[in-house]
Chains A and B, each alone.
Chain A
Amino acid sequence: MVSNKGFTAAFAAALLTSGCAALNPPPKPAPPVAINEDPYPSTYARYPGVPTVIRHATVLDGDGRQINDGTLVFADGAIQAVGGPELPSPAGAQEIDGTGKFVTPGIIDVHSHLGDYPSPGVSANSDGNEATSPARPEVWAEHSVWPQDPGFSRALVNGGVTTLQILPGSANLFGGRSVVLKNVPARTAQGMKFPGAPYGLKMACGENPKRVYGSKGNMPQTRMGNIALTRQTWIKAQAYKRKWDKYEAKGGDMPERDLAMDTLKGVLEGKILIHNHCYRADEMANMIDMSKEFGYHITAFHHAVEAYKVADLLRDNDICAVMWADWYGFKMESYDAIKENIPFVHNAGACAMVHSDDPNGIQRLNQEVAKALADGIRAGIPNLSEAVAWEWLSRNPAKALGILDKTGTLSPGKMADVVMWNGDPFSDYTRPERVWIDGALMYDANDPKRRPVSDFELGQPGEGDVK
């Protein structure tokens, strides 16, 4: 059978080339070649855990709810139940007394450069910006991620960060694809890749692209140059997509593949999420119009320092704002920062969250949210609480990463990405005591063996220290 089919195809092809097609029914075009959309697949597999019950803790479930004397049950890598003291324990479960402790979903940082700008910050390891052309959607951050960056461990043990998105830098208008990682040490980036998380595309507005290229006498040199070049690139992407749509529908000669355009096509198809570095309110408005012009959706504006000025616009367009608590003035586009940015955006009904963009800040995102919460309450924003503010640390980041169905809140069935804090995590005096990822205990403050040490740090002064 197989050889017959092969013969038939070869025979048909021979007829075509001999010009006798009219004597035969027109041959069907070759079926389109399917492009592998996941050529560097996740090899992450959760580590073993034991069925666990934490009792008598203050639970912030990430969905706006606080449960005093709360109980959390997880087993087989997943949340089983969350509730009050009445919850039963599964047979053989490990019981943890959470008296005086807080239990929360693991923190998710949507904006990190760990691995692509690792420690030590030497040029040999600086792999975050492919600053050779302002449009580089063809690069993928995961191909820069050095899994031995010691920063991952600090984010885990001091920050309670269980998931993070690694983005390319912002030198380029199109910086490249992001990757979402589980904060679990591995030998390869694939070993950290969050299974099933969609890709993101880093875009950038404003000062950085025009400074990087304008200083070399190249386009873009201005904000209007930024916009023009970005639009030109989308026009190419639309044409590319049309070609491929036609090919996929009707077959024929396979169009030439272009890695850059593959990514942009993925955006236009809604498969790849846009993470747009954009500080200023007026530029966010321009980018929103651009997204409508070309038919894609912006998932989140990052470093959205002026989000509070257009919080209504963000809400109406279902765009998240990714913000710092108090960074300001380090460049002109951060000059109008206010400390109430996160609560103001939240109050307007838009999706607000904190981010670090920093290997030190990622260790204290809970404290950054504590600042924003306190400033929001002082400014008279109603209905704010610690339970609500935790949405800025895990629920909304999970939404922006397209993984809210998998993690980000303590809902039954979701991944057991859990932090037990040794007190109220909105206090400077509180640290993670234990961190579980997919139900596996990855950090225990009381057990030096449950603390990751990167390859880089082995044999160095301070190896295995508490950090």
Chain B
Amino acid sequence: MTIRATDRHPGLDPGSSFLFSSHWKKIWIPAFAGMTIMWGSPLAAETFAISGGTVALGDGSEPVPNGMVVIRDGRIVAAGSIRMKLPAGTRVIDATGKWVSPGIVAGFSRLGLAEVDLSAEGADDTTADGPFNAALDVTPAINPRDSTIAVNRADGVTRALVAPNAGKNIFAGQGAVIDTGSDMEPITAARKFQYVELGEAGSQKGGGSRASAHVLFRNALREAAELSRYASPLAASRRATPDERERPVVRNPNESRIYGADARRSDDVLLTRFDAAALVPVLQGRQYLLVHAERGSDILQVIALKRDFPSLKLVLVGASEGWTVAEQIARSGVPVIASAVNDLPASFEQLAATQSNVGRMRAAGVKVSIGMVDDSDTRNLFNERQYAGNLVALQRIPGATGVSWGEALAMITSRPAEAIGMGGELGSLAAGRRADLVIWSGDPLEVSSAAEQVFIDGVSQPLDTHQTRLRDRYRYLPRRELPEAYRH
């Protein structure tokens, strides 16, 4: 197996215990030359294996008993029903009686953006109400020390797509992919996608009707197109000439910034120059566009955007009525990140909601994954495995459409990564993928199972949280010689 030496290689501090070693440093350098992120060279290399457990690869296949996973330098070397000759001295973790799967990838979330959701000033960065919209980049808002990240890590969530919440505009801004590691570098991929509301919320934020939202959307792309005509073919390394820096737009979505104010624009513009520039990579298909729509007709309108803007790399988010137009979605090739189990006509855009939505879309050939498209998006991502399990349950309900166990797991691991073009990096135990994996006490789609060991990029993670500390403090209530505050 080839290990790519230039990728992120977290090492282990040989002096600390394996389980709680998280002191290694990740180094990342914003790259201006076409790469999403360029990781520093490895601090250390380690090969280890997990052996004896039931192994689920996360690629849609069914779990295999007595499997093995081999990890080297933070990447998967091989996994499944394999037997490998390991170098002498290789550490082997015995997972007999346990289950091993990729870490859960939260397909849609606001993880790391809010420590507390309500009435807690300074603890919520989900929604901006300032002058900018599409230009917003969620990255600076993500706090890897949010207790929400620790709580989800402790339950096996290792990566998440994080979207900003739309403020005053249909464009919410640019979302990131993060890991939940216990360190200060949470960003896997910054500015991976733009997020836009084109359903009921789009109507509210886009002028009071869907007609208004769609014309706002089209106008925004028109302004981006106008601006892009002044873009250079490919900007600019860090040693770019002053002249290059003056160009309004660079081609890489990770550097979708405007450096100067001299680019010519029409008089009739609505967007700030910064917002328009941010939409150039969307327009040109170099940044994913995640579109929230629930109603059947709204979904068709989103798909239809491809006719006028063929380069858009669309991903549908929500799609509660997707099953009613599943064939059209499948033909369009647009992936869907859906809510798994909402089955109520909670709004007029979700009248046809059913828990069979995901299964029926999948059966029609839609590329479906699961996200948390509701008000639990800041913190309850760990419920995705419960929801995936519920989709498995539907297989035994007459008239319902469920999904197989293997596919259900894939919908919370590899499928969301694939939806944004990161399936080669994340979400499965295929060779070369980042070694994000969990050793579970049992079947990970059962809520009674717990994550016992969690690895991110091959690094074992601490699983204690604010909650586990409180649990231990209050396990026994009888009065002791000192108050509870002294138990720590």
Q: How far is the CA of A340 from the CA of B477 in the complex (A)?
A: 14
Given A338, A429, A461, A465, which contacts B392 in the complex, CB threshold below 8 Å?
A: A429
Q: How far is the CA of A446 from the CA of B382 in the complex (A)?
A: 32
Q: Shortest Cβ distance from A23 into chain B, in angstroms?
A: 71
Q: How far is the CA of A371 from the CA of B117 in the complex (A)?
A: 23
Give every chain B residue within 8 A of A308 (Cβ-Cβ).
474
Given A335, A448, A461, which contacts B399 in the complex, CB threshold below 8 Å?
A: A448
Q: How far is the CA of A457 from the CA of B445 in the complex (A)?
A: 32
Q: Shortest Cβ distance from A353 into chain B, in angstroms?
A: 18
Asked if residues A328 and B151 are in contact (CB atoms below 8 Å), the reply is yes
Known: A371-B447, A371-B448. A462 touches B354 (CB 8 A): yes
Q: Does A168 contact B (CB under 8 A)?
A: no
Give every chain B residue within 8 A of A466 (Cβ-Cβ).
354-356, 394, 397-400
Closest A residue to B468 using CB positions: A338
Q: Does B67 contact A (CB under 8 A)?
A: no
Asked if residues A364 and B352 are in contact (CB atoms below 8 Å), the reply is no
Q: How far is the CA of A311 from the CA of B116 in the complex (A)?
A: 25
Q: Does A370 contact B (CB under 8 A)?
A: yes
Q: Does B29 contact A (CB under 8 A)?
A: no
Q: Shortest Cβ distance from B294 into chain A, in angstroms?
A: 12
Give every chain B residue within 8 A of A311 (Cβ-Cβ).
477
Asked if residues A330 and B116 are in contact (CB atoms below 8 Å), the reply is yes
Asked if residues B120 and A331 are in contact (CB atoms below 8 Å), the reply is yes
Considering the complex, which residues of chain A in the window 334-385 have a beta carbon less than 8 Å from any beta carbon of chain B?
A: 335-340, 344, 348, 359-360, 363-364, 367, 370-371, 373-375, 378-379
Considering the complex, which residues of chain A in the window 399-437 have a beta carbon less than 8 Å from any beta carbon of chain B?
A: 422, 426-431
Known: A121-B346, A154-B344, A329-B147. A467 touches B118 (CB 8 A): no
Q: Does B248 contact A (CB under 8 A)?
A: no
Q: Does B64 contact A (CB under 8 A)?
A: no
Asked if residues A336 and B470 are in contact (CB atoms below 8 Å), the reply is yes
Asked if residues A428 and B447 are in contact (CB atoms below 8 Å), the reply is yes
Given A150, A328, A375, which contacts B379 in the complex, CB threshold below 8 Å?
A: A328
Give every chain B residue within 8 A of A51 (Cβ-Cβ).
none
Q: How far is the CA of A371 from the CA of B383 in the complex (A)?
A: 11
Main secondary structure of the interface of A (DSSP, over half): loop
Closest B residue to A330 using CB positions: B117
Give every chain B residue within 8 A of A373 (Cβ-Cβ).
448
Q: Does A332 contact B (CB under 8 A)?
A: yes
Asked if residues B398 and A158 are in contact (CB atoms below 8 Å), the reply is no
Asked if residues A158 and B119 are in contact (CB atoms below 8 Å), the reply is no
Known: A429-B389, A461-B352, A462-B354. A120 touches B120 (CB 8 A): no
Q: How far is the CA of A122 from the CA of B348 in the complex (A)?
A: 9
Asked if residues B354 and A428 are in contact (CB atoms below 8 Å), the reply is no
Closest A residue to B470 using CB positions: A338
Q: Shortest Cβ distance from B115 into chain A, in angstroms?
A: 7
Q: How far is the CA of A348 from the CA of B477 in the complex (A)?
A: 9
Q: How far is the CA of A445 from the CA of B402 in the complex (A)?
A: 15
Q: How far is the CA of A11 from the CA of B350 in the complex (A)?
A: 71
Q: Shortest Cβ distance from A377 into chain B, in angstroms?
A: 9
Considering the complex, which residues of chain B in the window 438-483 have a beta carbon less than 8 Å from any beta carbon of chain A?
A: 441, 445-450, 466-468, 470-471, 474-475, 477
Q: Does B396 contact A (CB under 8 A)?
A: yes
Binary contact track A293-310/B, C-beta < 8 Å → 1, others 0: 000000000000000110
Considering the complex, which residues of chain B in the window 296-355 have a beta carbon less than 8 Å from any beta carbon of chain A?
A: 296, 321, 324, 341-348, 350-355
Q: Does B165 contact A (CB under 8 A)?
A: no
Asked if residues B148 and A427 are in contact (CB atoms below 8 Å), the reply is no
Most buried by B among A329, A422, A460: A329
Q: Does B390 contact A (CB under 8 A)?
A: yes
Q: Does B263 contact A (CB under 8 A)?
A: no
Asked if residues A121 and B352 are in contact (CB atoms below 8 Å), the reply is no
Q: Shortest Cβ distance from A232 into chain B, in angstroms?
A: 25
Closest A residue to B344 using CB positions: A119
Q: Does A142 contact B (CB under 8 A)?
A: no
Asked if residues B386 and A428 are in contact (CB atoms below 8 Å), the reply is yes
Q: How far is the CA of A371 from the CA of B397 in the complex (A)?
A: 23
Known: A428-B390, A431-B396, A431-B397. A211 touches B347 (CB 8 A): no
Q: How far is the CA of A70 from the CA of B119 in the complex (A)?
A: 51
Considering the complex, which residues of chain B in the window 195-232 have a beta carbon less than 8 Å from any beta carbon of chain A?
A: none
Given B118, B347, B394, which contacts A330 in the complex, CB threshold below 8 Å?
A: B118
Binary contact track B115-131/A, C-beta < 8 Å → 1, others 0: 11111100000000000
Known: A312-B477, A332-B120. A326 touches B346 (CB 8 A): no
Give every chain A residue within 8 A of B343 (Cβ-Cβ).
154, 158, 363, 467
Asked if residues B345 and A426 are in contact (CB atoms below 8 Å), the reply is no
Q: How far is the CA of A338 from the CA of B350 in the complex (A)?
A: 33
Q: Does A207 contact B (CB under 8 A)?
A: yes
Q: How far is the CA of A340 from the CA of B324 in the complex (A)?
A: 41
Q: Shortest Cβ distance from B23 into chain A, in angstroms?
A: 27
Q: How far is the CA of A213 from the CA of B380 in the complex (A)?
A: 29
Q: How far is the CA of A262 from the CA of B253 in the complex (A)?
A: 65
Q: Does A40 contact B (CB under 8 A)?
A: no
Q: Does A47 contact B (CB under 8 A)?
A: no
Q: Does B33 contact A (CB under 8 A)?
A: no
Give every chain B residue within 8 A of A461 (Cβ-Cβ).
296, 321, 324, 351-352
Q: Does A176 contact B (CB under 8 A)?
A: no
Q: Does B393 contact A (CB under 8 A)?
A: yes
Given A207, A332, A337, which contacts B467 in the complex, CB threshold below 8 Å?
A: A337
Q: How far is the CA of A335 from the CA of B394 in the complex (A)?
A: 34
Closest B residue to A149 using CB positions: B344
Q: How far is the CA of A371 from the CA of B446 in the complex (A)?
A: 9
Most buried by B among A119, A311, A445: A119
Given A309, A348, A457, which contacts B345 in the complex, CB threshold below 8 Å?
A: A457
Binary contact track A441-467/B, C-beta < 8 Å → 1, others 0: 000011010000000110011100111
Give every chain B residue within 8 A of A154 (Cβ-Cβ).
343-344
Give every chain A residue within 8 A of B148 (Cβ-Cβ).
329
Closest B residue to A422 using CB positions: B396
Q: Shortest Cβ distance from A464 into chain B, in angstroms?
A: 9
Asked if residues B351 and A460 are in contact (CB atoms below 8 Å), the reply is yes
Known: A374-B450, A461-B321. A335 touches B354 (CB 8 A): no
Q: How far is the CA of A465 from the CA of B174 in the complex (A)?
A: 37
Asked if residues B379 and A329 are in contact (CB atoms below 8 Å), the reply is yes
Closest A residue to B448 using CB positions: A374
Q: Does A151 contact B (CB under 8 A)?
A: yes
Asked if residues B471 and A150 are in contact (CB atoms below 8 Å), the reply is no
Q: How far is the CA of A421 from the CA of B208 in the complex (A)?
A: 46
Known: A328-B467, A379-B471, A462-B354. A360 touches B344 (CB 8 A): yes
Q: How far is the CA of A154 from the CA of B383 in the complex (A)?
A: 19
| Extra A-B contacts (13), CB below 8 Å, given A328-B151, A364-B386, A429-B396 | A119-B345, A121-B346, A338-B468, A344-B475, A359-B344, A359-B346, A428-B389, A428-B447, A429-B389, A445-B397, A461-B296, A466-B400, A467-B353
**Closest 4 pairs (CB-CB, A-B):** A428-B389, A462-B352, A374-B448, A461-B352
Q: Can you report 22 residue pairs joining A to B where beta carbons are below 8 Å apart?
A: A119-B345, A120-B350, A207-B119, A309-B474, A311-B477, A312-B477, A328-B467, A330-B117, A336-B470, A338-B468, A359-B346, A363-B341, A364-B386, A367-B447, A374-B449, A429-B393, A429-B396, A461-B352, A462-B324, A462-B352, A462-B354, A465-B399
